[in-house]
Amino acid sequence: MTTRTMGEPIPRREDPRLVAGDGRYLDDLGRGALAAAFVRSPHAAARVVDVDVSRALEVDGLVAIYTYEDLEGPMAEPLPLLIPHPRLHAGRTAYPLANGVVRHVGEPVAMVVARDRYLAEDACERIAVAYEPLAPVVGLDAAVAAERAVHDDVPDNVAAHMVQEHGDARAAVAAAPHRLELDLSIERSASMPLEGRGVYARWDAADRSLRVYSSTQTSTSVRFALAVKLGVPVDRVEVVAPDVGGGFGVKIVHPWPEEVLVPWAAIRLGREVKWAEDRREHFVASAHERGQRHHVSVGFDDDGRLLGLDVEFLHDNGAYTPYGIIVPIITATQLLGPYKPGAYRAEFRSLYTNTVIVTPYRGAGRPQAAFAMERTMDAIAAYLHRDRAEVRSANFIQPSEMPYDHHLTFQDGRPLVYDSGDYPATLDKIKKLVGWDEFEAFREEARAAGRRVGIGLACYVEGTGVGPYEGAHVRVETNGTVVVATGLTTQGQGHETAFAQVAAEALGVPVERVTVVTGDTRRFKYAVGTFASRAAVMSGNAVALAAGKVRAKALRIAAEALETDPDDLEVADGMVRVKGAPEREIALETVAVLANPLRYAFDEQTKLATQFVVGRGAEDPPVAEDDEPGLEATDWYSPVRSTFANGMHAVVVETDPETAEVRILRYCVVHDCGRLINPRIVEGQIHGGVAQGVGGALYERMVYDENGQLLNASFMDFLMPYASEVPKVETDHLETPSPLNPLGIKGAGEAGTIPGAAVLAAAISDAEGFFIDTMPISPSELWALREKEDG
């Protein structure tokens, strides 16, 4: 008998705390700490001529004001470039506080610390910064024209230029019987978690140690970064990610200017200091994504089969490149989706503009990739007068061709090799779910009633679970509880539940006995972080491996106690028992006691393990040479490469003939993320992902004016979908387990978002009868397109 918990839709263990208001998010901590606030640049490009703080000094409760001049050593240097790449030939990062120049609205110029946030903001308002404004570079056209440079030493504004090619794509396109050229653009959006960034730091001067809480997706890496920046030995730094109110990518960036400045001030002042971002700061001083413009040249045969695909695109990386060129690399590689492209070439330029930095937001370059590829598929189908599903199907990689090598290099520096997936089966499912073959009848019916409807289909393949590694520690306590710690962080994915399920199953204990700690460097020091749909794959497998080790040790110790062979034992419901003779059993907590030979007893359980009660042979050391005390183990999972999840979305839309309003009538998702740990959590990820995909397709965009001012930096003007805008999602799934990891898992976090723009553009195009090449699309834009079409 085993304890089945993997694959069960059990309720989340973290919920009772969170629904009752007992969660502990960043700004819920540190009551009484000093508050930090920042003076930020109102200009997109300017020289900082002077900072006059004199009027701020009279603010009651003011503690300190800092500018760049106050920074020394590593703090006075630019922030780290987290992911260097040989093709990122002109990577640039910001200083914690502006060093004479500001390059986007929102860049921090001075930090104020005061008794509370109100007073800190009072002081900020009284600091007079004299700027010499410069003409900014806004938008890709201005960046390419390079009449002005964002960085003086990068006169062409090009941060990176990269080409990846397999075969001779240009020759293949030129030789193909049919050719098409397309220009396809996506605008900027942003992760926009409901909780902004935040940092809270405590310096213990007597202990010379620092504890930092940060609303981050990677506490372990923040710890190493802070040790370097602050010159504090890494052993004296602890970083904790408390409950985090959403991340979606933006909180993987680190260390933020504020994230180094707050602890730095805490050390200097010997006081607790906290900063919780407000919404405007999040808009102008965190990160955005998505802005890209693609030119596609494609050559294909009479069946729509790709012979050559040549994609060039421009990527707007904003003012700095702390996160390297991960987003455009992902676009360049994931564009291929489930298809065999024939010869393929992708070339991009990543360009500086005087706007907020661009770093991964859920999907991370894939929504743009899916948009470019899927619009191309639709264009081919239209050109050949063929069914759109049929053209896609003609290009699929077949299950028998797995693993499939694209002969390209993925974002993790590893070969782009798909591990598994059954695309024809996925297509069958989505066609059935949405009623693809019956749609024409519905269209006719609708048309007769004066309604305009359309259907769209979009496919994607998503590399998930990138390395390099994650680890986990599993310990059985002497009271029978099991404590799991992993270093990666949680922002709502339900890791306390999912990892408990993995450990419970691997160990053979009821899930209620397992508690999980994530993102706390006091408990686990080595980790990478939560991003790229990697948590379940990476930490899930690490937890399973560590729990497996603990189980093996338990069997060994129990075998000694029961005088039998470990192979004859099993663990179920927290008991180690002899197979077939369940009366010969020993509780896991007793095994935990036996695993730790004691000199001192402190309760009834531990009395059993003291030196006059148990002991190995008189000549054996109490702990064998190759053993360790305690029923616990650490293990690591480090895959050779990513696993590849896939899926297909289909939507039915109705467009209003008068107002051009777009209404989603059906939204269907079929996805394959391998084996599921908790189907209800995966389903929730899909729902949330779809909401962000719909938002990005129909509502959300960052509107910059020519001066580099973000015109819609509030929830009043940046339109995130409410319940009224998000359709009900109908889902179905496949489970083709990944052969790459013991649990057979692929990631699911980003799946819902990736094809959003592609599938909605397809459906709207289908309803309207003309091709849509730019997303997002608002009713007024659709209306303008109609006017243009009507001539």
Partner touching 59 among other proteins, ligand FES, none, CB below 5 to 8 Å by kind: other proteins
Planar angle of CA 118, 122, 125, nearest 5 degrees: 135
Whose Cβ is closer to ligand FES: residue 5's or residue 533's? 533
H or E, element range at 119: helix 117-125
| End-to-end Cα spacing for the chain | 72
Partner touching 684 among ligand FES, other proteins, none, CB below 5 to 8 Å by kind: other proteins
Q: Which residues 721-740 are close enough to bind other proteins by CB under 8 A?
A: 722-724, 726, 728-729
Maximal C-alpha separation, the chain:
98
613 binds ligand FES (CB under 6 A): no
Residue 458: phi and psi, rounded to 5, are -150, 140
Tell me the Ramachandran region of residue 271: left when phi exceeds 0, alpha when psi lies from -120 to 50, beta otherwise: beta
How far is the C-alpha of 271 from the C-alpha of 149, rounded, in Å? 41
Tell me the Ramachandran region of residue 139: left when phi exceeds 0, alpha when psi lies from -120 to 50, beta otherwise: left
Whose Cβ is closer to other proteins: residue 274's or residue 443's? 274
Instruction: Please report, as a single letter, which amino acid is at residue 326.
Output: I
The encoded tokens of residue 259 equal 């994230």
Partner touching 457 among ligand FES, other proteins, none, CB below 5 to 8 Å by kind: none
CA-to-CA dists, residue 133 to 48, 157, 352, 703, angstroms: 9, 19, 18, 21
List 687, 771, 783, 786, residue binding other proteins (CB under 8 A) = 687
Give the shortest CB-690-to-ligand FES separation in angstroms: 14
720 binds other proteins (CB under 8 A): yes
Partner touching 493 among ligand FES, other proteins, none, CB below 5 to 8 Å by kind: other proteins
23 binds other proteins (CB under 8 A): yes
Whose Cβ is closer to other proteins: residue 38's or residue 95's? 38
Residue nearest to ligand FES (CB): 194
- How many CB atoms are closer than 10 A to CB 600? 9
510 binds other proteins (CB under 8 A): no
How far is the C-alpha of 493 from the C-alpha of 490, rounded, in Å? 6
Partner touching 657 among ligand FES, other proteins, none, CB below 5 to 8 Å by kind: none
Give the shortest CB-40-to-other proteins separation in angstroms: 16
List 130, 194, 234, 441, residue binding ligand FES (CB under 6 A) = 194
Residue range at the interface with other proteins (CB under 8 A); choices 13-21, 219-227, 321-329, 330-338: 13-21
Is 625 exposed, middle or buried, given 0-12, 13-18 or 19+ CB atoms closer than 10 A?
exposed
Residue range at the interface with other proteins (CB under 8 A); choices 22-30, 149-157, 419-427, 783-791: 22-30
Give the shortest CB-216-to-ligand FES separation in angstroms: 16
Give the shortest CB-245-to-ligand FES separation in angstroms: 6
- Binding-site size, other proteins (CB under 8 A): 60
- How many CB atoms are closer than 10 A to CB 268? 14
Partner touching 570 among ligand FES, other proteins, none, CB below 5 to 8 Å by kind: none
Alpha-carbon torsion, ordered 592, 596, 598, 600, to 10 deg: -50
Partner touching 18 among ligand FES, other proteins, none, CB below 5 to 8 Å by kind: other proteins
Beta strands across the sheet bearing 452-464? 452-464, 643-655, 662-672, 729-734
Residue range at the interface with other proteins (CB under 8 A); choices 10-18, 253-261, 305-313, 604-612: 10-18
Planar angle of CA 174, 175, 176, nearest 5 degrees: 95
72 binds other proteins (CB under 8 A): no
The encoded tokens of residue 738 equal 């990944």
How many distinct helices (H) and strands (E) make up the chain? 19, 29
List 80, 106, 136, 193, residue binding other proteins (CB under 8 A) = 193
Quote the DSSP letter at residue 404: E
Whose Cβ is closer to ligand FES: residue 14's or residue 316's? 14
- Name the 3-class secondary structure at 555: helix
Instruction: Please report, as a single letter, which amino acid is at residue 467.
Output: G
- Binding-site size, ligand FES (CB under 6 A): 3
Whose Cβ is closer to ligand FES: residue 7's or residue 246's? 246
How far is the C-alpha of 266 from the C-alpha of 269, rounded, in Å? 5
- Name the 3-class secondary structure at 434: helix
The encoded tokens of residue 440 equal 């024409």
Planar angle of CA 193, 194, 198, nearest 5 degrees: 80
The encoded tokens of residue 555 equal 């069997």
42 binds ligand FES (CB under 6 A): no
Whose Cβ is closer to ligand FES: residue 492's or residue 519's? 492
How far is the C-alpha of 57 from the C-alpha of 128, rounded, in Å? 12
Please answer whether residues 89 and 160 qualify as being in contact, where contact means their C-beta atoms are separated by less than 8 angstroms. yes
Whose Cβ is closer to ligand FES: residue 7's or residue 684's? 684
Q: Looking at the chain, how many residues does it have?
A: 791
DSSP string, 339-388: B--SEEEEEEEEEE-SS--B---TTTTHHHHHHHHHHHHHHHHHHHT--H
Residue range at the interface with other proteins (CB under 8 A); choices 80-88, 99-107, 526-534, 676-684: 676-684
Residues 6 or more apart whose CB falls under 8 angstroms from that of 68 comprise 76, 95, 96, 97, 98, 99, 100
Whose Cβ is closer to ligand FES: residue 194's or residue 784's? 194
List 680, 707, 771, 781, residue binding other proteins (CB under 8 A) = 680
Whose Cβ is closer to other proteins: residue 278's or residue 405's? 278
- Name the 3-class secondary structure at 84: coil
Give the shortest CB-21-to-ligand FES separation in angstroms: 14
569 binds other proteins (CB under 8 A): no
Half-sphere exposure for 1 (CA within 13 Å, toward CB): 13
Whose Cβ is closer to other proteins: residue 44's or residue 726's? 726
Partner touching 121 among ligand FES, other proteins, none, CB below 5 to 8 Å by kind: none
List 108, 255, 341, 492, residue binding ligand FES (CB under 6 A) = 492
246 binds ligand FES (CB under 6 A): yes
Partner touching 480 among ligand FES, other proteins, none, CB below 5 to 8 Å by kind: none
243 binds other proteins (CB under 8 A): yes
Whose Cβ is closer to ligand FES: residue 25's or residue 770's? 25
Orientation angle between helical segments 756-768 and 779-789, nearest 10 degrees: 40
Q: Mask 80-119, x = binds other proteins (CB under 8 A)?
A: ------------------------------------xxx-
How far is the C-alpha of 369 from the C-alpha of 644, rounded, in Å? 15
Please answer whether residues 284 and 318 qualify as being in contact, where contact means their C-beta atoms are separated by less than 8 angstroms. no
CA-to-CA dists, residue 644 to 266, 417, 468, 530, 737, angstroms: 44, 8, 16, 17, 10
Give the shortest CB-227-to-ligand FES separation in angstroms: 31
Partner touching 385 among other proteins, ligand FES, none, CB below 5 to 8 Å by kind: none
H or E, element range at 202: strand 198-204
Q: Mask 386-425, x = binds other proteins (CB under 8 A)?
A: ----------------------------------------
Whose Cβ is closer to ligand FES: residue 19's or residue 561's? 19
The encoded tokens of residue 587 equal 């509780």
278 binds other proteins (CB under 8 A): yes
List 39, 48, 53, 59, residue binding other proteins (CB under 8 A) = 59
Partner touching 101 among ligand FES, other proteins, none, CB below 5 to 8 Å by kind: none
List residues binding other proteins (CB under 8 A). 11-12, 14-16, 18-25, 27-28, 31, 58-60, 116-118, 122, 192-195, 243-246, 248, 278-279, 491-494, 680-681, 683-685, 687-692, 714-716, 720, 722-724, 726, 728-729, 752
List residues binding ligand FES (CB under 6 A). 194, 246, 492
